[in-house]
Structure 1
C-alpha cells in the first residue's frame, strides 16, 4: 500500500477545503492508498470531512499565516514580523521532530499546501515532494516583512521536487524536477442541496454570500449599509458577528460550503483562493474586496480580471456599499482541474 503524508497550511479553511477535494478524488481513483494529514487549525473540520478508514490525522502546526490588525482585513506589519521571526527560529526543531517521527514509516510521497517545513522534511528523508498551491509564504510575505526574513524561507521551497501551480500563481520556478500549471477546482457541488438552500431563503430574494474568512472578526460589520438592500438575503460564515433577519449564518457543523456558494447570485469576498474557486466552478459572479499589501490577493485578482471572472471593490468602498448590482449568473459549471491534478499525483506514485 502506498503512503502519502499531506501537510495542510494553518491559515483559515481555504487550504483545507481544496486539499479535501484532492484527497476525496484520490481515494476514489486510487483506493489502495494510505494518507496521513498534518494540520492543527482545521483538524476537526478535515477529520469530519474525510471519514475514511485509510486516512489518519496528526494534529500539528507547521506554518503561520497572515497577521491582521484588529477590526480590519489589513495586515499588522509589526506582528507579522514578530511572528515570522519566531517561526523561522523554530523551523529546524520542527523539521527534526518530523524527521524522527516519519523516518521508519516507508513514505512514498509528501504533499504540501503549502508549509515550507514539509519540503525540508522530505529532502532529509529522501522522499519525493509535491507543492500544490497558488502561492508560497515566500511571496506572500514579500511586502509585509524585511527581505532578509523572507529570504530565509527560500531555501525550504527550493527543495520542492514537483510544483503543481494553481490558477493565479505567480511564483519562482521552485521545482527541482517538474512544474505544471493547473486551473481552478473545488469540492464536488451537490446541486440538489444548493437548490434546497436557495428555496430555504426564499426564491423571490436575490441571495448574496459575503465571505471575509474564518480568521477575520469585525464587530462593526452589522452597521454597514450593505445589509439594507431590499429583497436581498445574505449568507455569511459561522464566525461573522452579525444578527439580522435577512442574514443566514452557515451552521458551524456544515462542512460543504461550496453548496451555499452555488446557491447564491453573487459572492462578495476577499481574494481567498478557496472561496473564489468554488464560485468560479459554480458559475456564481464574484465581487472581490481588494486589500493592500497582499501579493497573493493581487495575483488572484489579476488572473480573475484578465479572464473576466470577477469585478473588484476597495475595502473602503465595500464599507460604504449600499446599492448592489447583481451581474448575470453563468449557470454552467466550469471545467475543474481536479481530475488532472489527482491523475498527476497517481503517476508519481
Structure 2
C-alpha cells in the first residue's frame, strides 16, 4: 500500500494513501466517554482521515486536543446512559424511560435518519462508544461497525430492570441485539462482561497525553511545589460555587474547559467518583484516587478492583464525604505508591485496528471463549441479555471481585 508522510502536532506520521471516513458515535452519558474518544480520534486524524463526531458533548472536549478541519461535529444524542440527580445518585426507572423515549419508541425514524446520514458522508466505518442503535444503523446501511469500550449498556441496565420491573426487559433485548451487529468490541482495561459482542480485541489503557509539566501547571495555579494539591473531580458535574462566590483561600475553582490530565499529573491525589476516564488517567499518571461509590452503576466494581490492584485507591464513605471528614482519607492517599506500569497507548492501537477494519482487513480476534461460568454475572447477581452463541473472557479483576466482594453467578 502506498504511504504518505505528514507532520501534525510535531509528530511525523506515515499514513495509508487511502483517505477514510469514520463516523464516531459517543454516548450521551457524562464526559468520560468523550474524553477517552479524544485519544483514538487524534490518531485517526493524524493518519489523514476524516472523523465525524456524533455527540452531545461540548466541542472543547475534543478541540482542546485536536485542531483539524478533518474533525467534524454533528450534535445528535442517541442514548442517555444513566440519568443522575447528582454526581452519585442514579435513577434506574428514569434511565430506562429516557432511553426508551430516545431510541426505542422512535426507532424506525432514528434508523432511517442515521442510515441516510451515514450514506451521505460515505462512511467507511462506524465506531461506537457505546451507542447501541449506531451498530444497527451501520448494518442497515451496509457499513461495518466496531465498539470501543469497557462496558455495555445492556449490562448496566440489567440491574435497573430488577428495580423498574420485568416489562423493561424488551429494552435490554433490543440493546443486546443492536450490539450484536458490530464486528467486534475493542475492549479497554477494567472491562465488565459484554456477552452481546461477537468478538473481542483487547488494548491497553486509553489516556490523554500531557500538555504541560507539573511545574508549569502549579505555576499557573499559584501553588508551590511543596504544597499538597487535591483534585475534586466528579466527572463533568458543575462546581457548586457561583461565579461571584468567594472561596476559602486554599480552594481554586477551575474553568469548565480545564485540561484535566495536566492537573492529574500535577496533583498529589484526587477525590471523586469512579469512571473509566478518571481511573485510567489516575493509573497512568500514578495519582492516588480517593473514591466514593455510586449505586446502580455496575461498571464500577471492575474499575475499582483494577485501581486497587495497582495500589492506587482509597474508598471514602459517602457520609464522610458529605460531612467533610476528609483528613483520614487524604493522609492515607498521599502515602500510597500507585504501581501501574502497563501500556498507555491504547488509543493508538485502537486507531490502527479501526483503520484496518475500515479497509476490509480481518483482525485477529480473541478466540479463548469457552469460559462461560461468569459471563452473565451482575452486581449483585442479575442477568444481562446475551446473543446466543457468543462468549467473552472473564476478566482477572472479576475473579478478584468474586472472592473479595462476594459476587455470585
TM-score by length of 2: 0.73
Q: CA deviation at 1:285?
A: 1.2
Q: Verify the 8 A CA contact 1:43 1:59 in the aligned structure 2.
A: no
* Distance of 2:238 and 2:20 partners within structure 1: 39
TM-align CA RMSD? 2.5
User: What's 2:81 paired with?
Assistant: 65
**Runs (5+) with no aligned partner, structure 1:** 223-237
Mapping for residues 71-110 of structure 1, pairs under 5 Å: 73-87=88-102, 88-110=104-126
Which residue, 14, 39, 45 being the options, matches 1:21? 39
Instruction: Give the total of aligned pairs.
Output: 324
Which residue, 171, 175, 182 being the options, matches 2:203? 182
Q: Verify the 8 A CA contact 1:207 1:266 in the aligned structure 2.
A: yes
Q: SS where residue 146 of structure 2 aligns?
A: strand
Write out per-residue CA displacement over residues 6-33 of structure 1, whole angstroms, 9 at most, x where no aligned residue.
11111221111111111112222x22x1
Mapping for residues 121-200 of structure 1, pairs under 5 Å: 121-145=137-161, 146-147=165-166, 148=169, 149-176=171-198, 178-192=199-213, 194-199=214-219, 200=222
Write out per-residue CA displacement over residues 126-160 of structure 1, whole angstroms, 9 at most, x where no aligned residue.
11111001111111222223451323311111112
Q: Verify the 8 A CA contact 1:11 1:41 in the aligned structure 2.
A: no
* Distance of 1:242 and 1:127 partners within structure 2: 54
Which residue, 349, 353, 356 being the options, matches 1:344? 353
Q: Verify the 8 A CA contact 1:12 1:42 in the aligned structure 2.
A: no
Mapping for residues 160-309 of structure 1, pairs under 5 Å: 160-176=182-198, 178-192=199-213, 194-199=214-219, 200-215=222-237, 243-254=247-258, 256-309=259-312
Write out per-residue CA displacement over residues 43-62 of structure 1, whole angstroms, 9 at most, x where no aligned residue.
45334543212222111111
CA distance 1:84–1:131, shift in 2 (3 Å): same
Alignment of 1:315 onto 2:318:
yes
Q: SS where residue 189 of structure 1 aligns?
A: coil
Between structure 1 and structure 2, the one with the greater Rg is 2
TM-score by length of 1: 0.84
